[in-house]
Amino acid sequence: MSYYPFTGVVVDVRWPRVLTHQVGSSQLDVWDCGGATCTTVGTIALSQGTKEIAYSRSSNAVGVMFVDNTVWAGTLTYDNAAQTWNLTLNSTPVASTSATYMLAVGDYVTYWEQQAGQEVAYVIDVSGTVVKQFTYSGNPCVIISTTYDYSGIGNPSIARKLFHNNLTQPRVNHFDAAWNFVNLYNWHGWGCYRGFFSRTATTGTGMEGFLAFNERVASLPMTTVRYEVHGDSSYSIPRWWSGYFPYTVGYDATNNRVPLINTSHQLLVDDNGSLVSVDPSLGTWEYYVTWAVPYGSASLIVLTMVSGTTAQSRIYEYAGGPALQITSLSLA
């Protein structure tokens, strides 16, 4: 597959426009990929160097973590007519001095930090208000938490879920719309989540919900992760895959496509469980983050490679599985 190269981490894609961020930079770069290559056509200024940006396309919620570890909440919207992004951050940051990681899914941004040996995870809304806070002690793992709107899927009375690593066992907390605790599921006996993706699937072969995540196995190197794609609301039985791969996996819920990285640092794309395409040209970067967005009947697969504070990204156009089939053969 051919790809479009970028410097930095891809924040959003509204093809042919792409928004990227270079770790430590004080701006977001807007790219135009109308041709065979992409060129920068604009920037969005940030007040200071930025470590990380978390963005939820479904609700425009955005969180920005600056180099001083302050977290800012706001919205990032896209103007289709003008083909521009508009970033609006609140006038004051969310108080934080040691935020380490962020994630945005659904209506909220989550981040977490260490305070006096404890992991503290926060859920904030777009105004920066902390709507939920969790504190865990004795947990050696990085907590990765996010919200996921399951309303209308599975149990419609449960509007929100928070996935996190509670003490020594990953768990799923369920909340109602007012953030009242409803239930909690134990989830596997694995180690830490290193990355997490969740999407609502409305198409496909009877799939009701979707979860895909990476799990770090505590006794194995950081480059070994486990991921599963859950295609139903049971939260325990992977519908499609479960296995060990280095690095990470993304998902295009509309087209039911799952890109992942295999042990040879190849980009693999799958529709329903079988590997169909590889890109042997990928290098051996330390860490990958990949996700996917619908692109007509195809997918745009975003692969971001991070090494230290340097990042580069590629966007692949993936039109589907193998196109050619041998339907008949004759020998003479």
For the chain, state the CA radius of gyration.
20
- Report in angstroms how near the CB of residue 276 gets to other proteins at its nearest: 8
Which residue's CB is nearer to other proteins, number 225 or number 315?
Answer: 315
Q: Quick one: which segment of 62-70, 181-189, 242-250, 317-325 binds other proteins (CB under 8 A)? A: 317-325
Which residue's CB is nearer to other proteins, number 89 or number 260?
Answer: 260
Q: Site residues for other proteins, window 94-133 (CB under 8 A)? A: none
3-state secondary structure 214-261: EEECCCCCCCEEEEEEECCCCCCCCCCCEEEEECCECCECCCCEEEEE
Applying CB under 8 A, among 1, 23, 131, 142 the residue interacting with other proteins is 1
How many residues sit in the footprint of other proteins (CB under 8 A)? 16
Residue with tokens 């969005």: 44
According to the binding rule CB under 8 A, does residue 219 interact with other proteins? no
Dihedral angle, C-alpha 236, 237, 242, 246, nearest 10 °: -20
According to the binding rule CB under 8 A, does residue 326 interact with other proteins? yes
Residues 6+ apart with CB under 8 A from 114: 98, 100, 120
- Report in angstroms how near the CB of residue 15 gets to other proteins at its nearest: 17
According to the binding rule CB under 8 A, does residue 329 interact with other proteins? yes
Which residue's CB is nearer to other proteins, number 116 or number 329?
Answer: 329
According to the binding rule CB under 8 A, does residue 319 interact with other proteins? yes
Q: Quick one: which segment of 9-17, 95-103, 162-170, 322-330 binds other proteins (CB under 8 A)? A: 322-330
Which residue's CB is nearer to other proteins, number 43 or number 281?
Answer: 281
Task: Check: CB of residue 185 under 8 Å from CB of residue 171.
Answer: yes
Applying CB under 8 A, among 159, 173, 297, 314 the residue interacting with other proteins is 297
According to the binding rule CB under 8 A, does residue 277 interact with other proteins? yes
Going by C-alpha positions, the residue among 324, 316, 286 that lies closest to residue 298 is: 316
- Report in angstroms how near the CB of residue 289 gets to other proteins at its nearest: 24
Q: Give me 84's structure tokens.
A: 């521009």
According to the binding rule CB under 8 A, does residue 332 interact with other proteins? yes
| Phi and psi torsions of 164, nearest 5° | -155, 175
Strand order in the sheet with 39-45: 9-14, 17-21, 27-32, 39-45
Q: How many CA atoms lie within 13 A of 65 on its CB side?
A: 21
Residue with tokens 């989830």: 187
Residue with tokens 């909440």: 73
Going by C-alpha positions, the residue among 316, 252, 318 that lies closest to residue 6 is: 316
Give, in degrees to the nearest 5, the angle at Cα 197 between 127 and 19.
65
Which residue's CB is nearer to other proteins, number 91 or number 325?
Answer: 325
Residue with tokens 């196109």: 323
Q: Quick one: which segment of 93-101, 248-256, 259-267, 324-332 binds other proteins (CB under 8 A)? A: 324-332
Applying CB under 8 A, among 36, 116, 178, 324 the residue interacting with other proteins is 324
According to the binding rule CB under 8 A, does residue 36 interact with other proteins? no
- Report in angstroms how near the CB of residue 1 gets to other proteins at its nearest: 7
Provide the β-strand partners of residue 40: 31
According to the binding rule CB under 8 A, does residue 330 interact with other proteins? yes
Which residue's CB is nearer to other proteins, number 178 or number 332?
Answer: 332
According to the binding rule CB under 8 A, does residue 325 interact with other proteins? yes
Residues that bind other proteins (CB under 8 A): 1, 277, 297, 319-320, 322-332
